[in-house]
């Protein structure tokens, strides 16, 4: 069975500081991995995805994530936080590109 663990339900960073949101997964096959962002009272929007191409994936709004098979991790980073990055972030895994399994989410607060 697949599962996703997001370490830290709440993360706070200062504006301009590095953003690091952690995601570890379990999967019996090479997975597809995704990061989604959710702004208040909205649906989920895709930030980036890993589908067995380059292990360093670049997404929208300056975010990127690195697939590390040996660590079963897919951590999300951004070099410099902006106030507009404050949102809920979800990591998801899929082994067939159809059915997704989501983590419990990480709420990012950006301190001015």
Partner 1 sequence: DAEITQSPRHKITETGRQVTLACHQTWNHNNMFWYRQDLGHGLRLIHYSYGVHDTNKGEVSDGYSVSRSNTEDLPLTLESAASSQTSVYFCASSGSLAGGSSYEQYFGPGTRLTVT
Which residue among 13, 85, 105, 110 contacts partner 1 (CB under 8 A)?
105
* By CB under 8 A, residue 51 contacts partner 1: yes
* By CB under 8 A, residue 32 contacts partner 1: yes
Shortest spacing between CB 15 and partner 1, in angstroms: 26
Which residue among 21, 90, 108, 110 contacts partner 1 (CB under 8 A)?
90
Query: Rounded distance, CA 61 to CA 74, Å?
Result: 18
- Residue 87 · residue 38 · CB < 8 Å: yes
Which residue among 34, 63, 67, 74 contacts partner 1 (CB under 8 A)?
34
Tell me how far apart the terminal alpha carbons of the chain are, to the nearest angstrom. Answer: 41
The helix or strand, by DSSP H or E, that contains position 19, with its residue range, turns out to be strand 19-21
């Amino acid at each position: 069975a697949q599962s996703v663990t997001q370490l830290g339900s709440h993360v706070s960073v200062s504006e301009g500081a590095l953003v690091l949101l952690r995601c570890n997964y379990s999967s019996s096959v090479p997975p597809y991995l995704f990061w989604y962002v959710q702004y208040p009272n909205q649906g989920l929007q895709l930030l980036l995805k890993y589908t067995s191409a380059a292990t360093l994936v670049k997404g929208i709004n300056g975010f990127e994530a690195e697939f590390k098979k040996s660590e079963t991790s897919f951590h999300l980073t951004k070099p410099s936080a902006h106030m507009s990055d404050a949102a809920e972030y979800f990591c998801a895994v899929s082994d067939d590109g159809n059915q997704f399994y989501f983590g419990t989410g990480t709420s990012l607060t950006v301190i001015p």
